[in-house]
Every structure is written in C-alpha cells, then in structure tokens.
Amino acid sequence: MAETSVLPNPLREGIRMRRTPDACAMVIFGASGDLTERKLLPALYYLARERLLPGGFSIIGCSRTPYSNDQFREKMRQAIVTHLNLDNGNDPILESFCKNVYYLTDNFGDPKAYSQLVDLINRLDQEGKTSGNRLFYLATPPSFFPVIVKHLGSAGLAKPKDPDKTWTRVVLEKPFGRDLESARQLNRTVTRVFHEDQVYRIDHYLGKETVQNLLVFRFANGIFEPIWNRRYIDHVQIAVAETLGVENRGSYYEESGLLRDMIQNHVLQLLSLVAMEPPASFDAKAVRDEKAKVLRALRPIPMEQVNDFTVRAQYAKGFAEGKEVPGYRSEPNVSPKSVTETFAALKLSLDNWRWADVPFYLRSGKRLAKRVSEITIQFRRVPHLLFQGAVTDSIEPNVMAVRIQPDEGISLRFSAKVPGTTPQIRPVKMDFRYGEAFGASPPTAYETLLLDCMLGDNTLFNRDDAVELSWELVTPILDRWKQDGEKGLASYEAGSWGPVEADAFIERDGRAWRRL
C-alpha cells in the first residue's frame, strides 16, 4: 500500500507514516446541507490535495433537493473554493476531485431511492473505482438515523460484499439521542443492522490536534504523568466558550439546549481524556476502554441535588464584537417564554483512586466574551511559604492550560525571581503554540476523522457504552431543570463571561474561574 511523507497522527504507535486508505465510495445523506458544504467536502478536498485519498475515490451525495450531477459538482466546487479561500482559477486537483462527485435526488424513507443507490454503487465498483468498499455518512437530523439505517439494511448495503476483502462503515453525527432512553433505543436500532465495529459516532472535538496531543503530552513525557493525580492537582477546569448566539438554529436549540449540545458530548469527552488511566497500547479498544472507565467513575448527581452541583442560564441582550445583539428569547424561532439554557456550569467528581477529592469544573455557553476552548490543570499550592519577604500575598499556584481553539497550544505558569537586588517573586509563563513550533496550522478535525474512518481506525470515535454512560450522568440534570422550569434559570448579558451565579458557584469552594 502506498505511503506518504505527511506527519503521522500522534495517536499512532511509534513514528510511522500514514497509510492511504483503500479505494471506496463515500455516500453522504443530507448532502445539500450546511455540514457538507462547510466541513465535509473541504476536508475531503484537503485530503486529496495531500495525496491521502485513493485513486478512484468517489462521493455520492443524497438529498431531497433536486440537482443533476453537474449542478451538484459545481455547488461543491464553489463551496470548497469559498471555505478554503482558494484561487477560483484552474486547479487540476480540484477539477479531478469534482469529476468523482455524483448526486441522487431521493427521499430517505423511499425504498426506491436505495435501489438507485445500489445501482450507482455497483456501477462504480464495476468501473474499478471503489473496490466494493463503502462509507455511509449520515449528515442529517437525528430523526432520520433509524430510517436510513433500516433502509440500508433492507437494501443489502450494510454488509460488506466480501467480508475478507471489502468493508462497509457508517458515520453518525451528533447528537446521538436526546436522553438515556433514546440513546439506548438508537444504539439497538443501529446495531441490529451494523456491527458495532462498523459504527463511527463522530465528535469533531476529538479530531482537533490539541485534543489528540493531550494524550501524547501525558504519556510521552516522564515529567508530567507522575504528578497527574490528586496528590499534586487541586482541580481541573474545562471551558468551551462561543461568541455566537444561536444564529438561525433557534428551532434546533429549543429542543437541545446547551447541556445536550455541548457538555453531554464534547466536554465530557475532553474530561475522559484528561482523567483516563494510561492504556496498555494506543489501539482503539485500549484507549476507548480507559475513557469508558472514567465515565463509569463519574459520581451521579441525584435529581434532588442537581441545583447544588449545576448552574444554568440564558443570555439577555448585550453587545458582541461591538454590535448590539438580542437576547435568546428574541432570536428567530425561539419562544418568548423559553427556559432553554444557553450557559451551563457543572461540578463533577470521580470516584476512583487517582482523582478522589479533585473537583472537575465544566462550563460552556453561547454569546460569551470570547471564542475559546481550554482545559486548565491547577496544581496545589506549596505547603510552606519560604519567601515571606519576596511576595506581598501568597505564591500563585502552578497552572497548565491546554488551548484547544483558537491559537492551539499549551502553556505553563510558574513562579520566578524578578532580576534585581531585592527578592521579588512573580508568575511567568512558558508558551507553546502549534503554528510557531511547527511552522504550519494543524489539519481540521474533519480531515483527521474522515481519514480515520476510511482507514478503519475508530480510536477517536465514541463507542456505544460511552454514549450511554454520558447520558446516564446528564439525564437526571435535564429532568430536574425541566421540572423547575423558570425557577433557578439565571440570566447574563450577551458579551459577558456568564452569570454571576456561576462565579458564586465556584467561589464557594474557595476557587475562581480562570480568565480565558
């Protein structure tokens, strides 16, 4: 199999080159949607440009919007040019890439549509382009997942043509369920048709370079792993802040809310990577086993204690990027009496040997002051202050910050003496940035994850048990918030860092949110 000279994925064992995947057909359901234009096609083009896609790789878009092959190709070409800021002139790689893009106008619930899909896939196989390998990507609203999966099974598309030589896989976008029971039901529906090893539940946060590097940082450096425990760490903060409001997604957000949209998946996945034990090896099963152990160790929050361990809030009108913006209840397709949360903060505990008594503080919100995702590890203070005359108060604790976006990198704060004849101590920072250290921006999450799908590497994808474990934690919180309604729902000004209730929430433990 062909090898490339591209830098290896840091999760792979040893230093080895990335393989080019086997020839395949990628079928995108919901291909006329925003995700396909903004993320999927640009990521696939990037892989083609980097010579990481096999010859004959073909894309089949499926959606109800009527397009001919040529119309869809031109739409995707323009999307790639726009979102990657390409020169709109002659690009032989882009032209060759678009020639292998096809389109079927169909209704996801119509069996005839799947017969057309079978005919097209078989034709591409016979032309020697796709070698019998199939990747189905469900970029549709979650309500279509069971419908599409069942029809793929009925049409004979879920099983490999030759299990010894070919493969078939399915990718499911989030959200995977809306509570514990719906997630369990969806898992049962999917695994009646596909084997669990064929199912790739995608969470794009896990494809971000800094997230992957967190494991390398922990397990490839002997100076950090020995202090990665309750003995040396005071607490952990995980923050995912967005400046945008709900934009044109008011209807979706009314059904979802911040807890479902961000914390149940993205944030809990980050927590599991921070807290996991060293896996026996960096293969998919070992890594995912350790992540699942973390989720099992999370202490459940009983419904009657939810308000002691959580804060929820909704943004009011304010200013974002110098412009006045409306409050959540004034957004399009949002009820003027909505109690949907756009901000949430949680305090979680892990009942295991490594993390006993170390709180994990999570927060995420819309319309906050800055777009930033960061993991903060705050270490314990020194037990005895020797330098009484050198500091006015106390020495600040050491803090390690893993910046996921933007300005991907890692920083470490420690104390140092100020030059001079009088003893003065001040905090200083060591800062590592990907762009400066390696001279290039890291690939986007979808480039990494799509390539892993085609290579059959599911290390960075959610397993069925992990999905259900995260819903086990979140569902009682959702139930209590629904029961309370308006009661307990705080408010914060758009463009701020969230409600004052969230500050009081962490300050009662003698701690404070890190300034991002």
> Which of helix, strand or coil describes residue 102?
strand
Residue 384 falls in the annotated catalytic set: no
**Is pLDDT above 80 for 6?**
no
Concatenated DSSP letters of 357-425: T--EEEEEESSBSS-EEEEEEEEPPPSS---TTT-SS-PPPPEEEEEEESS-EEEEEEEEEPSSSS--E
Asked whether residue 352 carries a pLDDT value surpassing 60, the answer given is: yes
With a cut of 80, say whether residue 514 has pLDDT above it: yes
Whether 206 shows a pLDDT value over 90: the answer reads no
User: What pLDDT is attached to residue 2?
Assistant: 38
Look at the block and give the residue holding tokens 């591409």: 124
Check whether 227 has a pLDDT greater than 90. Answer: yes
**205-214, 237-246, 329-338, 501-510: which range is least confident on average?**
205-214
**13 has pLDDT over 50:** no
Residues in the chain: 516
pLDDT, averaged across the chain? 89
Catalytic residue, chosen from 151, 204, 235, 266, is: 266
- pLDDT tens, 401-436? 999 888 888 888 887 777 877 777 777 788 888 777
Phi–psi pair at 433, nearest 5 degrees: -125, 135
Same fold, 25-173 and 206-507: no
**CATH architecture type of domain 206-507:** 2-Layer Sandwich (3.30)
Strand intervals (E) in 186-322: 199-201, 233-241, 310-316, 318-320
Q: Tabulate helix, strand, coil % of the chain (nearest 5).
A: 40, 20, 40
Domain boundaries, the chain: 25-173, 206-507
Q: On the CB side of 167, how many CA atoms lie within 13 Å of its CA?
A: 17
Residue that the structure tokens 């060759």 belong to = 96
Averaged over 273-295, what is the pLDDT? Answer: 93
Instruction: Name the pairing type of β-strands 310-316 and 343-348.
Output: antiparallel
Mean pLDDT value of segment 474-487: 96
Long-range contacts of 465-470 (CB under 8 A, 24+ apart): 465/292, 466/272, 466/288, 466/291, 466/292, 466/295, 467/176, 467/177, 467/183, 467/187, 467/201, 468/180, 468/183, 468/184, 468/187, 469/292, 469/295, 469/296, 469/298, 470/264, 470/265, 470/268, 470/295
Confidence check: pLDDT of 9 > 80: no
Distance CA 412, CA 428 (A): 8
477 vs 265: CA distance, rounded Å: 15
Low-confidence winner among 24-38, 109-123, 174-188, 418-432 (lowest mean pLDDT)? 418-432
Banded model confidence at residue 441, pLDDT cuts 50, 70, 90: low
Q: What is the pLDDT of residues 261-275, one digit of tens each?
A: 999 999 999 999 999
Which of 145-149, 195-199, 396-400 shows the lowest mean pLDDT across its residues?
396-400
Which CATH code, of 3.40.50.2300, 3.90.1010.10, 3.20.20.480, 3.40.50.720, is assigned to 25-173? Answer: 3.40.50.720
* Residue 8 confidence (pLDDT): 39
Partnered with residue 128 across adjacent β-strands are none
The string of pLDDT tens digits covering residues 490-499 is 999 999 999 9
**At 134, is the pLDDT very low, low, confident or very high (cuts 50, 70, 90)?**
very high
The DSSP line for 332-353 is TT--TT----SEEEEEE-B-ST
Distance CA 252, CA 263 (A): 16
Burial of 362 (0-12, 13-18, 19+ CB in 10 A): buried
| Residues forming a β-bridge with 61 | 28, 103
Question: What pLDDT does residue 373 have?
Answer: 93
Run of H or E including 4? none
Q: Which two tokens stand for residue 147?
A: 């419908």
Residue 22 structure tokens: 């086997």
User: How much is the pLDDT for 3?
Assistant: 37
The whole-number average pLDDT for the span 474-486 is 96
Q: What is the distance between the alpha carbons of residues 269 and 294, in angstroms, rounded to a whole number?
A: 10
